[in-house]
Chains A and B, each alone.
Chain A
Amino acid sequence: MKIALPILFAALGLAGAALAQSAGKSVWQGIYTTEQADRGAGVYAQRCGACHGAALNGTGEAPPLIGGEFVSHWDTMTVGDLYDRVRTTMPQNDPMSMTRDEYADVLAFLLKTNGFPAGVQPLDKRSEVLATIGITAEKPADR
């Protein structure tokens, strides 16, 4: 019994991760809208740009939010992971001070500036829904 429990948890955890992958939701599938990203650019300018830089290149200690290092840093995580990292810790001086919609808009802006395609459905604002969308640095081959 002592052994069975952790194994059960581990198995469920793995199954959940696998499910997200097999559902095939990915940042490459057009998971936000252009309008949303444009709104996000405005929010970014107001709340993020002071530290991360106008061109998202980072300044001082604030890391760049654009480019290979940023994307591969989040490789195999989910959009939900990124969303909650931003929501619970940013702006660094005043976390959780924006609405969930605003956080989703900013995320859409980051996805757009990093070359992930826009689509017709806006990015959801629920962490658990975003947790079903995988971030993969490499664009999958066309099927």
Chain B
Amino acid sequence: MKIILPIAAALLLSTAAGAQTPAKEGTIAARTTNGVANWTTYNADLKGSRYSPLDQINASNFKDLEIAWRFKTDILGSRPEYKLESTPLAVDGVIYTTGGTRRAVVALNGATGELLWQFALHEGKRSAESPRALSGRGLSYWTDGTRRRILYVTIGYRLVSLDADTGRPDPEFGTNGVVDLKTDFDQDMGDLDTGEVGVHSAPAVSGNSIIIGAAFREGFTPKTHNNTKGYVRAFDVRTGKRMWTFHTVPKPGEFGYDTWLNKSADINGNTGVWTQVSVDEELGLAYLAVESPTSDFFGGKRPGNNLFGNSLVAVDLKTGERRWHFQLIHHEIWDLDNSSAPLLMDVTVDGKPRKVVGLPSKQGFFYVFDRATGQPVWPIKETKVAKGNVPGEWYSPTQPMPSKPPVYARNGVEDKDLIDFTPDLKKKALELTSKYVLGPVYTPPIVSTPEKFGVINNWAQGGTNWPGGSFDPESGIAYVYACGACISSTGLLPPPAGLSDIPLVVGVAGQPVTMIKGPGEGAGADSPAPAAAPGAGNAGPPRLAVDGLPLVKPPYGTISAIDVNNGTIKWQVAHGETPDFVRNHPIIKAMGGIPRTGQSTYQIGTLVTKSVVIAGENQFTRTEDRPRGAMLRAYDKQTGAEVGAVYMPSTQSGSPMTYMVGGKQYIIVPTSGGNASGEFLAYALPNKK
């Protein structure tokens, strides 16, 4: 009954629309094969490339781009959204995307941005309780040549199949077009409204299979170690019937169960796949980048290496059986969970053609494996790491460290990383950090004390996050954004009674330990009010800044070109205008300025075309020649030289894509932030010069 009601509401709405059929007529009118180039999956293809061979927009004219149309997402929910992350799809002149605090699906005319149809499920308490609200990263498209479907996962974790022409649920799929993903999950979810699971990523659709991952609340302060398990499932694209389930936390008797000592696999959860799944249709393999088990910074309830936590797993596309796996971090306690879509690249290593899978990471390593066998292409050495002293924690004595390519983003914070524009700034930075622990990659978390608040690190939001990387399939070069200054301090404290059954959660000595919210959690259209924070407003630990400047050296954010043919970094550039508060700082001005620093953000995804790499900025800046806003920049693929930039009134908050309709190339940038609510900006060249 709970399920039927919202569906009925949705059906009523779409029936009302159907009576007039404007949606279908509009969609048919917008559909064209004239001068069309499509972008049919979240990452352009199932290999994760974010590559388009289009070249109408190139180095010579990028600066001439202008806004062709814009689509504001405010009306797609009970309130505007300020965190629009969806990458739209383009199919034969029609744009499909999710948007808004309701995570509605819309179809737009690709040439004009006109709304053709809209669909949304109103899920009430179930969406209010979701750990993953807001518009999500996008949706998926499937066709068998006749039927054309749009597939997406709602805020309340339902898989929906819509007719691409009308926006109506497909009656042959699931129950009236909907599959309840909280059922048939190989575990008891309890109350379907409150059972904790959701997902932001777009489904991976290959052949007849839809592969769906799972995501949970932020793991800083989980309620219980025995959280929902993030199993990965495949569903039949026509019927919605479950085809297989891969147990990311093995069940008794399954491979890997013994890597959870004391049978702790039975009482731990998470270990989901919240980022995009990539698929090699020729090899018949799906690649799962699995996140950490519960909880992010304390693993005392799960002694052992914890397969398949923080592993890259290749499973059979048809059966879900594991073919190979590689655990990138044993017994993870840094929130360095796998964040990026696997990049399935064909390269030439030492004169031999190789089918490889590359994986960018938060920890600044770019891992490369033979994607048929899982063998590292270059040695990945088990390396001794520091053992911590958190009571009750279990530590892996070694961690795998790639020998090639070199580290492409800051993955530790040590004295050498601290700000040193002037000797005085460096001195102050050392004074400040004396209250914290510094160290290289895999420096273990500590219990927070008044003497040492925590470990300063670039963990949770550093390196490469959910936007992942991109690559050029012709050259074998990957282009990856990374944050080098997304630093924070992490310490552990016992939670107050009733907050968690985990002995230690994230907290700061002298401050009350409170629940930390995750991306979009409690922020959706149906969310209720939060409780007050006890004791908030007290003086906290010092900010991680020196005289108002960032604690660590630039670059704050970079794009790296990683040549996967030989495991080298071909070039690296600071991406993003130097932030105003740095550029205009009296110390910096007295120095006569500094080279562009890039920006501290994890929201940047890249787009690769025939000749350029394109990415926008995520922070507002104001310079002498333009008002407050952000720039969309293009870089030469071979050299990294900036070849053009165009003004955006708002900041990029999702990954850009490109397509062509009527012989005209467009670039869509999802934007939001600050006082600017979600808006898709479509850029194209002027019709007349």
Contact = CB atoms under 8 A, between A and B. Distances in A.
A44 interface: yes
Contact of B537 (A42, A76, A89): A42
A1 to B, nearest CB: 23
Interface stretch (B148-156, B397-405, B517-525, B609-617): B517-525
Given A45-B537, A73-B620, A85-B675, A92 B543 contact: no
A76 B626 CA distance: 12
Interface in A50-66: 50-51, 53-55, 57, 59-62, 66
A75 interface: yes
A61 B530 contact: no
Contact of A138 (B82, B535, B584, B621): B584
B218 interface: yes
Contact of B532 (A46, A61, A72, A95): A46
A84 B82 CA distance: 14
Given A45-B535, A49-B537, A85-B675, A93 B584 contact: no
A25 B528 CA distance: 37
A103 B548 CA distance: 27
Contact of A72 (B80, B529, B543, B621): B621
Interface string B503-521: 0000000011011111111
Interface in B235-291: none
A68 B548 contact: yes
Interface in A68-109: 68-69, 71-77, 81-82, 84-85, 88-89, 91-95, 97
A125 interface: no
A48 B530 CA distance: 9
Contacts of B218: 60-61
Q: Taking each of A54, A81, A89, A91, which has the highest tally of chain B beta carbons within 10 Å of its own beta carbon?
A: A54
Nearest to B676: A85
Given A54-B536, A54-B540, A81-B675, A91 B628 contact: no
Contacts of B512: 54
A81 B620 CA distance: 15
A119 interface: no
B515 A50 contact: yes
Contact of A50 (B82, B519, B527, B530): B530
A24 interface: no
B330 to A, nearest CB: 26
A101 B538 CA distance: 22
B548 A91 contact: no
Nearest to B677: A89
Contacts of B527: 92-94
Q: Taking each of A60, A81, A137, which has the highest tally of chain B beta carbons within 10 Å of its own beta carbon?
A: A60
Interface residues of A, number: 43
A75 B580 contact: yes
Given A68-B548, A73-B674, A54 B517 contact: no
A59 B620 contact: no
A41 interface: yes
Interface residues of B, number: 51
B4 interface: no
Interface of B is mostly: loop
A97 B549 CA distance: 35
B552 to A, nearest CB: 14
A76 B517 contact: no
A110 B578 CA distance: 24
A67 interface: yes
Contacts of B522: 92-93
Interface in B304-329: none
B543 A68 contact: no
A50 to B, nearest CB: 4
B176 to A, nearest CB: 30
A89 B535 contact: no
Given A59-B517, A67-B543, A94 B537 contact: no
Contact of A69 (B83, B538, B579, B627): B579
A111 to B, nearest CB: 15
Given A67-B548, A72-B580, A75-B628, A49 B620 contact: no
Nearest to B526: A93
Contact of A60 (B516, B533, B674): B516
A92 B80 CA distance: 11
Given A54-B537, A60-B220, A67-B545, A137 B581 contact: yes
B532 A45 contact: yes
Contacts of A42: 537
B13 to A, nearest CB: 25
B535 A54 contact: yes
A72 B543 CA distance: 17
A94 B530 contact: yes
Contacts of B82: 89
Given A45-B535, A72-B580, A61 B620 contact: no
Nearest to A47: B532
B541 interface: yes
A19 to B, nearest CB: 17
B587 to A, nearest CB: 12
A53 B530 CA distance: 14
A55 B539 CA distance: 6
A91 B512 CA distance: 20
B516 A59 contact: yes
A85 B527 CA distance: 18
A59 B508 CA distance: 12
Contact of A71 (B79, B521, B581): B581
Contacts of A88: 79-80
Q: Taking each of A44, A46, A72, A95, which has the highest tally of chain B beta carbons within 10 Å of its own beta carbon?
A: A72
B522 to A, nearest CB: 5
B534 to A, nearest CB: 8
A72 B523 CA distance: 25
A90 B303 CA distance: 41
B581 A68 contact: yes
A35 to B, nearest CB: 16
Given A75-B622, A75-B628, A91-B529, A62 B536 contact: no
A72 B581 contact: yes
A30 B562 CA distance: 52
B671 interface: no
B537 A68 contact: no
Interface in B75-97: 79-80, 82-83
A45 B537 CA distance: 5
B619 interface: yes
A45 B539 CA distance: 12
A91 B514 CA distance: 16
Contacts of A66: 543
B531 interface: yes
B539 A49 contact: no
Given A54-B538, A77-B628, A137 B674 contact: no
Closest 7 CB pairs of A and B: A49-B536, A68-B581, A55-B540, A94-B529, A72-B580, A45-B537, A49-B533
15 contacts: A41-B537, A51-B517, A55-B511, A55-B541, A60-B516, A61-B518, A68-B582, A69-B619, A71-B581, A72-B580, A74-B674, A77-B674, A85-B675, A91-B530, A137-B584
Interface of A: 41-42, 44-51, 53-55, 57, 59-62, 66-69, 71-77, 81-82, 84-85, 88-89, 91-95, 97, 137-138
Given A45-B533, A50-B536, 18 more contacts: A44-B536, A47-B532, A49-B536, A50-B514, A51-B530, A53-B536, A57-B540, A57-B543, A60-B220, A62-B517, A67-B548, A68-B579, A68-B580, A76-B622, A82-B675, A93-B528, A94-B530, A137-B580
